[in-house]
A and B are shown apart, each in its own frame.
Chain A
Amino acid sequence: MRPSLSAFLSGLVFAIGLGLAGMTDPANVLGFLDVAGDWDYRLAFVMGGAIAVHAALRRLIHQRARPLFAATFPTFSASKPDAKLLAGSALFGVGWGLGGYCPGPALTSLATGAVPLLVFVPAMFAGFYLAQVLQARGSRGATRAEVPRAGAAPAP
Chain B
Amino acid sequence: MTSSILLPLLGGGLIGLSASLLLLANGRVAGISGVVGSLLAPVRGDIAWRVLFFAGLLAGGLLLAWLRPGAFPAPASPSAGGAWLLAGAGLLVGFGSRLGNGCTSGHGVCGISRGSVRSIAATLTFMATGVLTVFLVRHVL
B95 touches which of A61, A86, A97, A130 (Cβ 8 Å)? A130
Give the dominant DSSP class at A's interface.
helix
Give CA–CA (A57, B5) in the complex, Å: 22
The chain A residue sitting closest to B75, CB to CB, is A114
Give CA–CA (A128, B82) in the complex, Å: 22
A90 touches which of B52, B88, B118, B129 (Cβ 8 Å)? B129
A91 in contact (CB, < 8 A): yes
Give the dominant DSSP class at B's interface.
helix
Shortest CB–CB separation between residue B48 and chain A, in angstroms? 6
Please, how many residues of chain B have a CB less than 8 angstroms from a CB on the other chain? 117
Does the CB pair A21–B10 fall under 8 Å?
A: yes
Given A89-B107, A156-B110, are A17 and B43 neighbors across the interface (CB < 8 Å)? no
Please, how many residues of chain A have a CB less than 8 angstroms from a CB on the other chain? 117
Q: What residues of A have a CB within 8 angstroms of the CB of B123 in the complex?
A: 89
Render B50-82 as a binary contact track against A, CB cut-off 8 A, 1 for contact: 101111111111111100100111011110001
Does the CB pair B137–A92 fall under 8 Å?
A: no
Does the CB pair A102–B94 fall under 8 Å?
A: no
Q: What residues of B have a CB within 8 angstroms of the CB of A15 in the complex?
A: 56-61, 63-64
Binding site for B on A (CB under 8 A): 1, 3-4, 6-27, 30, 33-37, 42-55, 57-58, 61, 64, 66-74, 76-77, 79-81, 84-99, 101-104, 106-112, 114-116, 119-132, 134-136, 149-152, 154-156
Binding site for A on B (CB under 8 A): 4-5, 7-38, 40-43, 46, 48-50, 52-65, 68, 71-73, 75-78, 82-83, 85-114, 116-119, 121-123, 125-135, 137-139
Q: What would 14 A/B residue contacts be, using CB atoms closer than 8 Å?
A: A7-B50, A12-B60, A13-B17, A14-B18, A21-B15, A50-B19, A64-B24, A79-B118, A89-B97, A107-B57, A123-B90, A127-B90, A152-B43, A154-B34
